[in-house]
Structure 1
Amino acid sequence: MNRTIPEPDLDYLQRVLLEMLAIPSPTGFTDTIVRYVAERLDELGIPFELTRRGTLRATLKGQKNSPDRAVSAHLDTIGASVRAIKDNGRLILAPVGCWSSRFAEGSRVSLFTDNGVIRGSVLPLMASGHAFNTGVDELPISWDHIELRLDAYCATRADCDSLGVNIGDYVAFDPLPEFTESGHISARHLDDKAGVAALLAALKAIVDSGVQPLIDCHPLFTITEETGSGAAAALPWDVSEFVGIDIAPVAPGQYQS
Protein backbone atom coordinates (compact mmCIF):
# COMPACT_ATOMS: atom_id res chain seq x y z
CA MET A 1 0.00 0.00 0.00
CA ASN A 2 1.34 3.40 -0.96
CA ARG A 3 1.58 5.87 1.88
CA THR A 4 1.80 9.60 1.35
CA ILE A 5 3.98 11.94 3.36
CA PRO A 6 1.85 14.37 5.40
CA GLU A 7 2.24 18.11 5.25
CA PRO A 8 4.96 19.38 7.61
CA ASP A 9 3.86 20.13 11.16
CA LEU A 10 3.89 23.93 11.14
CA ASP A 11 3.50 24.16 14.92
CA TYR A 12 6.65 22.05 15.26
CA LEU A 13 8.44 24.20 12.67
CA GLN A 14 7.54 27.40 14.51
CA ARG A 15 8.55 25.97 17.88
CA VAL A 16 11.99 24.77 16.80
CA LEU A 17 12.57 28.00 14.88
CA LEU A 18 11.83 30.12 17.95
CA GLU A 19 13.99 27.90 20.13
CA MET A 20 16.91 28.11 17.70
CA LEU A 21 16.57 31.88 17.33
CA ALA A 22 16.97 32.09 21.11
CA ILE A 23 20.34 30.30 20.89
CA PRO A 24 23.23 32.61 19.94
CA SER A 25 25.34 30.94 17.25
CA PRO A 26 27.71 33.24 15.36
CA THR A 27 30.29 31.28 13.40
CA GLY A 28 32.79 29.84 15.87
CA PHE A 29 30.28 29.88 18.75
CA THR A 30 27.99 27.04 17.69
CA ASP A 31 28.37 24.29 20.29
CA THR A 32 25.00 24.95 21.94
CA ILE A 33 22.96 24.97 18.75
CA VAL A 34 24.73 21.85 17.50
CA ARG A 35 23.66 20.08 20.69
CA TYR A 36 20.11 21.40 20.22
CA VAL A 37 19.79 19.99 16.70
CA ALA A 38 21.40 16.72 17.80
CA GLU A 39 18.67 16.41 20.45
CA ARG A 40 15.97 16.99 17.82
CA LEU A 41 17.48 14.26 15.62
CA ASP A 42 17.56 11.93 18.62
CA GLU A 43 13.86 12.60 19.23
CA LEU A 44 13.12 11.67 15.62
CA GLY A 45 15.20 8.51 15.86
CA ILE A 46 17.54 9.64 13.07
CA PRO A 47 21.16 8.55 13.62
CA PHE A 48 23.92 11.10 13.14
CA GLU A 49 27.63 11.67 13.58
CA LEU A 50 29.79 14.72 14.21
CA THR A 51 32.50 15.25 11.61
CA ARG A 52 36.00 16.51 12.40
CA ARG A 53 34.94 19.98 11.22
CA GLY A 54 31.89 20.01 13.48
CA THR A 55 29.18 19.28 10.92
CA LEU A 56 26.23 17.15 11.99
CA ARG A 57 25.83 14.43 9.37
CA ALA A 58 22.63 12.43 9.78
CA THR A 59 21.39 9.42 7.83
CA LEU A 60 17.79 8.79 6.84
CA LYS A 61 17.96 5.18 5.72
CA GLY A 62 16.54 4.32 2.32
CA GLN A 63 15.67 1.14 0.49
CA LYS A 64 19.10 1.34 -1.17
CA ASN A 65 22.27 2.71 0.37
CA SER A 66 24.00 4.00 -2.76
CA PRO A 67 24.01 6.38 -4.54
CA ASP A 68 22.97 8.82 -1.82
CA ARG A 69 21.18 12.14 -1.60
CA ALA A 70 22.11 14.98 0.75
CA VAL A 71 20.32 18.10 2.00
CA SER A 72 22.22 20.83 3.83
CA ALA A 73 21.39 23.83 6.02
CA HIS A 74 23.74 25.86 8.20
CA LEU A 75 23.51 26.55 11.93
CA ASP A 76 25.92 29.47 12.18
CA THR A 77 24.93 33.11 11.82
CA ILE A 78 26.59 36.45 11.33
CA GLY A 79 27.81 38.21 14.46
CA ALA A 80 30.89 40.03 15.71
CA SER A 81 33.89 39.73 17.99
CA VAL A 82 35.87 42.17 20.09
CA ARG A 83 38.72 43.61 18.00
CA ALA A 84 40.01 46.18 20.48
CA ILE A 85 39.26 47.71 23.87
CA LYS A 86 39.29 51.51 24.01
CA ASP A 87 40.71 53.54 26.87
CA ASN A 88 37.16 54.74 27.63
CA GLY A 89 35.91 51.18 28.12
CA ARG A 90 34.06 50.93 24.83
CA LEU A 91 34.71 48.08 22.43
CA ILE A 92 35.72 48.06 18.77
CA LEU A 93 34.13 45.20 16.86
CA ALA A 94 35.10 43.05 13.91
CA PRO A 95 32.34 41.38 11.89
CA VAL A 96 31.92 37.62 11.93
CA GLY A 97 30.73 36.82 8.45
CA CYS A 98 30.37 39.24 5.58
CA TRP A 99 27.90 41.99 6.49
CA SER A 100 27.72 45.75 6.71
CA SER A 101 27.95 47.73 9.92
CA ARG A 102 24.88 49.60 8.63
CA PHE A 103 22.77 46.68 9.85
CA ALA A 104 24.55 46.47 13.22
CA GLU A 105 23.87 50.04 14.34
CA GLY A 106 21.28 50.27 17.09
CA SER A 107 21.30 46.54 17.84
CA ARG A 108 21.03 45.05 21.29
CA VAL A 109 23.62 42.36 21.80
CA SER A 110 25.12 39.84 24.20
CA LEU A 111 28.87 39.77 24.85
CA PHE A 112 30.24 36.41 25.97
CA THR A 113 33.15 36.86 28.38
CA ASP A 114 35.16 34.58 30.65
CA ASN A 115 33.01 35.78 33.56
CA GLY A 116 29.61 35.47 31.89
CA VAL A 117 27.28 37.31 29.53
CA ILE A 118 27.11 41.12 29.44
CA ARG A 119 24.38 42.94 27.58
CA GLY A 120 25.04 46.05 25.54
CA SER A 121 24.20 48.22 22.52
CA VAL A 122 26.03 48.78 19.25
CA LEU A 123 26.01 52.49 18.42
CA PRO A 124 27.72 54.85 15.97
CA LEU A 125 30.58 56.91 17.36
CA MET A 126 28.34 59.97 17.01
CA ALA A 127 25.15 58.65 18.54
CA SER A 128 23.39 61.91 19.39
CA GLY A 129 21.93 64.47 17.01
CA HIS A 130 21.70 66.91 19.92
CA ALA A 131 25.46 66.69 20.47
CA PHE A 132 26.80 66.30 16.93
CA ASN A 133 24.06 67.80 14.73
CA THR A 134 24.68 67.03 11.03
CA GLY A 135 27.90 65.21 11.90
CA VAL A 136 25.71 62.18 12.63
CA ASP A 137 24.64 62.03 8.97
CA GLU A 138 28.17 62.63 7.71
CA LEU A 139 29.70 59.76 9.69
CA PRO A 140 31.00 57.04 7.32
CA ILE A 141 29.39 53.60 7.39
CA SER A 142 32.01 51.10 8.51
CA TRP A 143 32.92 48.89 11.44
CA ASP A 144 35.54 51.49 12.39
CA HIS A 145 32.75 54.00 13.07
CA ILE A 146 30.62 52.00 15.50
CA GLU A 147 31.31 50.71 19.00
CA LEU A 148 29.83 48.43 21.63
CA ARG A 149 28.75 50.14 24.83
CA LEU A 150 28.23 47.68 27.66
CA ASP A 151 25.39 47.73 30.18
CA ALA A 152 27.94 47.75 33.00
CA TYR A 153 30.15 50.23 34.77
CA CYS A 154 32.92 50.33 32.23
CA ALA A 155 34.70 53.67 31.84
CA THR A 156 38.29 52.46 31.45
CA ARG A 157 40.27 49.59 29.99
CA ALA A 158 40.83 48.36 33.55
CA ASP A 159 37.07 48.18 34.07
CA CYS A 160 36.82 45.92 31.03
CA ASP A 161 39.58 43.72 32.43
CA SER A 162 37.71 43.37 35.72
CA LEU A 163 34.58 42.31 33.82
CA GLY A 164 36.52 39.59 32.03
CA VAL A 165 36.35 41.23 28.60
CA ASN A 166 39.01 40.01 26.18
CA ILE A 167 39.98 40.49 22.57
CA GLY A 168 38.18 37.86 20.52
CA ASP A 169 35.11 37.57 22.76
CA TYR A 170 32.02 36.78 20.72
CA VAL A 171 29.11 39.17 20.28
CA ALA A 172 25.65 37.85 19.36
CA PHE A 173 22.96 40.13 17.96
CA ASP A 174 19.39 39.85 19.25
CA PRO A 175 17.07 38.09 16.76
CA LEU A 176 13.86 40.04 17.60
CA PRO A 177 11.47 37.42 16.16
CA GLU A 178 7.94 38.40 15.16
CA PHE A 179 5.23 36.12 13.79
CA THR A 180 2.47 38.20 12.20
CA GLU A 181 -1.19 37.33 11.74
CA SER A 182 -0.63 37.37 7.97
CA GLY A 183 1.78 34.47 8.34
CA HIS A 184 4.98 36.43 7.83
CA ILE A 185 8.02 35.77 10.00
CA SER A 186 10.44 38.59 10.71
CA ALA A 187 13.70 38.04 12.58
CA ARG A 188 17.42 38.43 12.36
CA HIS A 189 19.19 35.11 11.72
CA LEU A 190 16.45 33.48 9.66
CA ASP A 191 19.55 32.88 7.56
CA ASP A 192 19.69 30.02 8.04
CA LYS A 193 17.70 28.98 11.09
CA ALA A 194 14.51 29.13 9.04
CA GLY A 195 16.14 26.69 6.65
CA VAL A 196 17.16 24.41 9.52
CA ALA A 197 13.63 24.51 10.95
CA ALA A 198 12.17 23.64 7.53
CA LEU A 199 14.57 20.71 7.17
CA LEU A 200 13.77 19.38 10.65
CA ALA A 201 10.03 19.70 9.96
CA ALA A 202 10.43 17.81 6.67
CA LEU A 203 12.38 15.05 8.42
CA LYS A 204 9.67 14.79 11.08
CA ALA A 205 6.99 14.45 8.38
CA ILE A 206 8.91 11.61 6.72
CA VAL A 207 9.51 9.80 10.01
CA ASP A 208 5.88 10.22 11.11
CA SER A 209 4.63 8.85 7.79
CA GLY A 210 6.64 5.64 8.08
CA VAL A 211 7.65 5.99 4.43
CA GLN A 212 11.18 4.82 3.68
CA PRO A 213 13.05 6.86 1.05
CA LEU A 214 14.14 5.03 -2.08
CA ILE A 215 17.80 5.74 -1.31
CA ASP A 216 19.76 6.96 1.71
CA CYS A 217 19.47 10.68 2.42
CA HIS A 218 21.98 12.61 4.51
CA PRO A 219 20.71 15.77 6.24
CA LEU A 220 23.77 17.94 6.91
CA PHE A 221 23.92 20.77 9.44
CA THR A 222 27.06 22.86 8.93
CA ILE A 223 28.63 25.49 11.21
CA THR A 224 30.94 27.72 9.12
CA GLU A 225 28.86 28.85 6.13
CA GLU A 226 29.00 32.55 7.05
CA THR A 227 32.79 32.49 6.76
CA GLY A 228 32.84 30.67 3.44
CA SER A 229 32.96 26.95 4.24
CA GLY A 230 29.93 24.84 3.39
CA ALA A 231 28.93 21.20 3.20
CA ALA A 232 31.46 19.92 0.68
CA ALA A 233 33.81 18.44 3.28
CA ALA A 234 30.95 16.50 4.91
CA LEU A 235 29.43 14.95 1.78
CA PRO A 236 29.68 11.15 1.55
CA TRP A 237 31.63 10.07 -1.51
CA ASP A 238 28.63 8.53 -3.29
CA VAL A 239 26.21 11.47 -3.07
CA SER A 240 24.72 11.98 -6.52
CA GLU A 241 22.06 14.60 -5.70
CA PHE A 242 22.48 17.55 -3.36
CA VAL A 243 20.17 20.35 -2.22
CA GLY A 244 21.35 23.31 -0.16
CA ILE A 245 18.71 25.17 1.86
CA ASP A 246 19.61 28.80 2.47
CA ILE A 247 18.17 32.30 2.45
CA ALA A 248 18.36 34.30 -0.78
CA PRO A 249 18.85 38.07 -0.62
CA VAL A 250 16.19 40.28 -2.14
CA ALA A 251 17.76 42.11 -5.05
CA PRO A 252 16.94 43.17 -8.61
CA GLY A 253 16.73 40.15 -10.87
CA GLN A 254 15.83 37.77 -8.03
CA TYR A 255 12.14 36.98 -7.90
CA GLN A 256 9.95 34.77 -5.77
CA SER A 257 8.67 31.56 -7.34
Structure 2
Amino acid sequence: MENNYFDSKILEEILNIPSPTGYTKDMLNYIQKELDNMNLEYKISNKGSLLVTIKGKDSNKSITFSSHIDTLGAIVAKVKSNSCLSINQIGGYMMNSVEGENVIIHTRNGKKYEGTLQTIKPSIHIDGNDAKDLKRDCKNYEIVIDEQVSEPQDVYNLEIEVGNLVSFDTRTRITKSGFIKSRYLDDKASVAAILHVIRYIT
Protein backbone atom coordinates (compact mmCIF):
# COMPACT_ATOMS: atom_id res chain seq x y z
CA MET A 1 0.00 0.00 0.00
CA GLU A 2 1.07 3.60 -0.58
CA ASN A 3 2.50 5.48 2.37
CA ASN A 4 4.41 8.66 3.17
CA TYR A 5 7.79 7.00 2.70
CA PHE A 6 7.58 5.55 -0.80
CA ASP A 7 6.95 7.43 -4.04
CA SER A 8 4.80 5.12 -6.13
CA LYS A 9 5.17 7.50 -9.08
CA ILE A 10 8.75 6.30 -9.56
CA LEU A 11 7.60 2.69 -9.53
CA GLU A 12 4.87 3.46 -12.06
CA GLU A 13 7.42 5.04 -14.39
CA ILE A 14 9.78 2.07 -14.02
CA LEU A 15 7.03 -0.47 -14.65
CA ASN A 16 6.05 1.28 -17.87
CA ILE A 17 9.55 1.12 -19.38
CA PRO A 18 9.75 -2.00 -21.59
CA SER A 19 12.76 -4.13 -20.62
CA PRO A 20 12.46 -7.77 -21.70
CA THR A 21 15.70 -9.72 -21.31
CA GLY A 22 18.06 -8.51 -24.03
CA TYR A 23 16.42 -5.07 -24.28
CA THR A 24 17.18 -3.23 -21.06
CA LYS A 25 18.89 -0.10 -22.40
CA ASP A 26 15.93 2.23 -21.77
CA MET A 27 15.58 0.97 -18.21
CA LEU A 28 19.31 1.35 -17.62
CA ASN A 29 19.23 4.90 -18.98
CA TYR A 30 16.40 5.77 -16.59
CA ILE A 31 18.38 4.59 -13.57
CA GLN A 32 21.51 6.41 -14.75
CA LYS A 33 19.57 9.68 -14.99
CA GLU A 34 18.19 9.17 -11.47
CA LEU A 35 21.70 8.62 -10.13
CA ASP A 36 23.00 11.63 -12.08
CA ASN A 37 20.30 13.78 -10.47
CA MET A 38 21.62 12.62 -7.07
CA ASN A 39 25.21 13.41 -8.15
CA LEU A 40 26.31 9.83 -7.53
CA GLU A 41 29.12 8.07 -9.35
CA TYR A 42 28.49 4.66 -10.87
CA LYS A 43 30.00 2.27 -13.37
CA ILE A 44 28.72 -0.27 -15.88
CA SER A 45 30.31 -3.71 -15.80
CA ASN A 46 31.34 -5.64 -18.92
CA LYS A 47 28.12 -7.64 -18.60
CA GLY A 48 25.94 -4.54 -18.34
CA SER A 49 25.38 -4.40 -14.59
CA LEU A 50 25.15 -0.94 -13.05
CA LEU A 51 27.17 -0.57 -9.86
CA VAL A 52 26.96 2.36 -7.47
CA THR A 53 28.89 2.64 -4.21
CA ILE A 54 27.84 4.91 -1.37
CA LYS A 55 30.57 5.37 1.18
CA GLY A 56 29.77 5.24 4.87
CA LYS A 57 31.60 5.89 8.12
CA ASP A 58 33.31 2.48 8.18
CA SER A 59 34.69 1.12 4.90
CA ASN A 60 35.41 -2.25 6.55
CA LYS A 61 31.72 -3.01 6.68
CA SER A 62 29.39 -3.03 3.73
CA ILE A 63 25.87 -3.98 2.68
CA THR A 64 24.96 -4.88 -0.88
CA PHE A 65 21.51 -4.41 -2.40
CA SER A 66 20.78 -5.89 -5.81
CA SER A 67 17.85 -6.28 -8.17
CA HIS A 68 17.30 -7.11 -11.83
CA ILE A 69 15.74 -4.82 -14.41
CA ASP A 70 14.94 -7.37 -17.12
CA THR A 71 11.49 -8.90 -17.47
CA LEU A 72 9.68 -11.68 -19.26
CA GLY A 73 8.95 -11.13 -22.93
CA ALA A 74 9.16 -12.77 -26.34
CA ILE A 75 11.23 -12.83 -29.50
CA VAL A 76 10.07 -12.95 -33.11
CA ALA A 77 10.67 -16.47 -34.42
CA LYS A 78 9.09 -16.20 -37.88
CA VAL A 79 7.26 -13.85 -40.20
CA LYS A 80 4.28 -15.95 -41.31
CA SER A 81 2.64 -16.04 -44.72
CA ASN A 82 -0.44 -14.33 -43.23
CA SER A 83 1.79 -11.37 -42.16
CA CYS A 84 1.51 -12.33 -38.48
CA LEU A 85 4.51 -13.15 -36.27
CA SER A 86 5.37 -16.43 -34.58
CA ILE A 87 7.20 -16.00 -31.28
CA ASN A 88 9.35 -17.83 -28.79
CA GLN A 89 9.12 -17.10 -25.10
CA ILE A 90 11.72 -15.21 -23.10
CA GLY A 91 11.37 -16.56 -19.58
CA GLY A 92 8.93 -19.05 -18.14
CA TYR A 93 5.27 -18.08 -18.10
CA MET A 94 1.96 -19.65 -18.98
CA MET A 95 0.91 -18.56 -22.45
CA ASN A 96 -2.71 -18.13 -21.42
CA SER A 97 -1.56 -15.39 -19.02
CA VAL A 98 -0.64 -13.18 -22.00
CA GLU A 99 -3.38 -14.29 -24.39
CA GLY A 100 -5.02 -11.27 -26.00
CA GLU A 101 -2.32 -8.96 -24.63
CA ASN A 102 -1.17 -5.77 -26.33
CA VAL A 103 2.51 -5.93 -27.28
CA ILE A 104 5.30 -3.75 -28.63
CA ILE A 105 7.70 -5.09 -31.26
CA HIS A 106 11.16 -3.52 -30.92
CA THR A 107 13.15 -3.44 -34.17
CA ARG A 108 16.92 -3.35 -34.40
CA ASN A 109 16.90 0.24 -35.67
CA GLY A 110 14.89 1.50 -32.71
CA LYS A 111 11.42 1.55 -34.25
CA LYS A 112 8.48 0.32 -32.18
CA TYR A 113 5.29 -1.22 -33.51
CA GLU A 114 2.20 -2.24 -31.59
CA GLY A 115 0.35 -5.50 -32.00
CA THR A 116 -1.82 -8.07 -30.24
CA LEU A 117 -0.90 -11.59 -29.18
CA GLN A 118 -3.63 -14.10 -29.90
CA THR A 119 -4.06 -17.78 -30.64
CA ILE A 120 -4.10 -19.04 -34.21
CA LYS A 121 -7.78 -19.83 -33.62
CA PRO A 122 -9.00 -16.88 -31.56
CA SER A 123 -12.74 -17.09 -32.23
CA ILE A 124 -15.15 -19.67 -30.84
CA HIS A 125 -17.76 -18.22 -33.18
CA ILE A 126 -15.62 -19.27 -36.17
CA ASP A 127 -13.59 -22.22 -34.90
CA GLY A 128 -15.96 -23.69 -32.31
CA ASN A 129 -14.45 -26.28 -29.98
CA ASP A 130 -11.16 -26.15 -31.88
CA ALA A 131 -10.65 -22.68 -30.40
CA LYS A 132 -11.53 -23.79 -26.87
CA ASP A 133 -9.52 -27.01 -26.99
CA LEU A 134 -6.45 -25.54 -28.68
CA LYS A 135 -3.38 -26.35 -26.59
CA ARG A 136 -1.94 -23.20 -25.07
CA ASP A 137 1.57 -23.77 -26.43
CA CYS A 138 3.73 -20.98 -27.80
CA LYS A 139 3.53 -22.53 -31.29
CA ASN A 140 -0.23 -21.89 -31.31
CA TYR A 141 0.11 -18.13 -30.82
CA GLU A 142 0.83 -15.28 -33.18
CA ILE A 143 1.14 -11.51 -33.09
CA VAL A 144 -1.23 -9.50 -35.26
CA ILE A 145 0.64 -6.30 -36.16
CA ASP A 146 -1.25 -3.02 -35.89
CA GLU A 147 -0.12 -1.89 -39.34
CA GLN A 148 -1.38 -2.27 -42.90
CA VAL A 149 0.30 -5.56 -43.75
CA SER A 150 -1.08 -8.34 -45.92
CA GLU A 151 2.02 -10.33 -46.90
CA PRO A 152 5.48 -11.00 -45.44
CA GLN A 153 7.19 -8.34 -47.58
CA ASP A 154 4.97 -5.68 -46.00
CA VAL A 155 6.30 -6.76 -42.62
CA TYR A 156 9.92 -6.71 -43.77
CA ASN A 157 9.36 -3.22 -45.19
CA LEU A 158 8.62 -2.10 -41.64
CA GLU A 159 12.03 -3.58 -40.70
CA ILE A 160 10.34 -6.15 -38.49
CA GLU A 161 12.26 -9.42 -38.68
CA VAL A 162 13.26 -12.59 -36.88
CA GLY A 163 15.10 -11.81 -33.67
CA ASN A 164 13.20 -8.64 -32.81
CA LEU A 165 12.26 -8.47 -29.15
CA VAL A 166 8.69 -8.17 -27.94
CA SER A 167 7.41 -6.61 -24.72
CA PHE A 168 3.98 -7.05 -23.14
CA ASP A 169 1.68 -4.34 -21.86
CA THR A 170 2.32 -4.21 -18.11
CA ARG A 171 -1.29 -3.19 -17.24
CA THR A 172 0.10 -0.99 -14.48
CA ARG A 173 -2.54 0.58 -12.29
CA ILE A 174 -2.44 2.28 -8.90
CA THR A 175 -5.79 2.13 -7.16
CA LYS A 176 -7.35 4.94 -5.10
CA SER A 177 -6.61 2.91 -1.98
CA GLY A 178 -2.91 2.80 -2.89
CA PHE A 179 -2.56 -0.76 -4.15
CA ILE A 180 -0.29 -1.31 -7.14
CA LYS A 181 -1.28 -3.84 -9.80
CA SER A 182 1.10 -4.65 -12.64
CA ARG A 183 3.16 -7.22 -14.42
CA TYR A 184 6.83 -7.31 -13.43
CA LEU A 185 6.58 -6.07 -9.86
CA ASP A 186 9.25 -8.76 -9.61
CA ASP A 187 11.75 -7.21 -9.71
CA LYS A 188 10.99 -3.61 -10.60
CA ALA A 189 9.44 -2.94 -7.20
CA SER A 190 12.89 -3.74 -5.80
CA VAL A 191 14.51 -1.30 -8.23
CA ALA A 192 12.18 1.48 -7.08
CA ALA A 193 12.76 0.59 -3.43
CA ILE A 194 16.55 0.67 -3.82
CA LEU A 195 16.40 4.07 -5.54
CA HIS A 196 14.27 5.30 -2.64
CA VAL A 197 16.79 3.99 -0.08
CA ILE A 198 19.64 5.67 -1.97
CA ARG A 199 17.80 8.99 -1.88
CA TYR A 200 17.10 8.56 1.82
CA ILE A 201 20.69 7.90 2.86
CA THR A 202 22.46 10.40 0.61
Q: 2:172 aligns with which of 155, 171, 177?
A: 177
What is the CA-CA distance between 1:99 and the residue it aligns to?
Answer: 1.7
**Are 2:52 and 1:55 aligned?**
no
Q: Distance in 2 between matches of 1:22 and 1:171?
A: 14
How far does the alpha carbon of each residue in 1:76-133 deviate from its partner, in whole angstroms, 9 at most, with x for none? Answer: 1111110111111110011112222121211001111237211100001111111011
Distance in 1 between residues matched to 2:175 and 2:201, nearest whole Å = 28
Match of 1:197 among 192, 197, 200: 192
Tell me which residue corresponds to 1:24: 18
Q: Which residue of 2 aligns with 1:132?
A: 127
SS across alignment from 1:109: strand
| Contact 1:78 1:96 (C-alpha < 8 Å) held by counterparts | yes
Are 1:83 and 1:168, in contact at CA under 8 Å, matched by a contact in 2? yes
Q: Counterparts of 1:108-147 in structure 2 under 5 Å?
A: 108-113=102-107, 114=109, 116-147=111-142
| Structure 2: distance between partners of 1:30 and 1:106 | 24
Q: Quote how far apart the aligned CAs of 1:183 are.
A: 2.1
Q: Post-superposition shift, 1:45?
A: 2.8
List aligned pairs for 1:165-244, cutoff 5 A. Answer: 165-207=160-202
Higher relative contact order (CA 8 A, sep 6+): 1
**SS of residue matched to 1:183:** coil
Picking from 64, 73, 76, the partner of 2:58 is: 64
Instruction: Specify which of 140, 148, 155 is matched with residue 143 of structure 2.
Output: 148
- Say whether the 8 Å CA contact 1:81–1:170 is kept in structure 2: yes
Name the structure 1 match of 2:40.
46
User: Whole-Å Cα distance in 1 between the matches of residues 152 and 60 of structure 2?
Assistant: 58
**Correspondence for 1:80 among 74, 91, 109:** 74
Using structure 2 for the length normalisation, give the TM-score: 0.93
SS at structure 2 position matched to 1:72? coil
- Rounded to whole Å, the distance in 2 between the matches of 1:66 and 1:160 is 57
The answer to whether the Cα contact below 8 Å between 1:8 and 1:201 also exists between their aligned partners in 2 is no
Number of residue pairs matched?
A: 199
**Relative to 1, partners in 2 of residues 1:115 and 1:43: Cα closer, same or farther, differing over 3 Å?**
closer
Structure 2, unaligned runs of 5 or more: none
1:107 is matched with which residue? 101
Counterpart amino acid of residue 131 in structure 1: I
Deviation of 1:154 (Å): 1.6
**Who is 1:160 aligned against?**
155
User: TM-score scaled by structure 1?
Assistant: 0.74
Q: 2:27 aligns with which of 30, 33, 58?
A: 33
Kept after mapping to 2: 8 A contact 1:8/1:204: no
Let me know the Cα RMSD of the aligned residues.
Answer: 1.5
CA distance in 2, matches of 1:110, 1:75: 18
Does the 8 A contact of 1:122 with 1:148 survive in 2?
A: yes
> Unaligned regions of 5+ residues in structure 1, if any?
1-6, 208-257
- Corresponding residue to 2:87 among 93, 108, 113: 93
State how far apart, in whole Å, the 2-side matches of 1:101 and 1:51 are.
Answer: 34
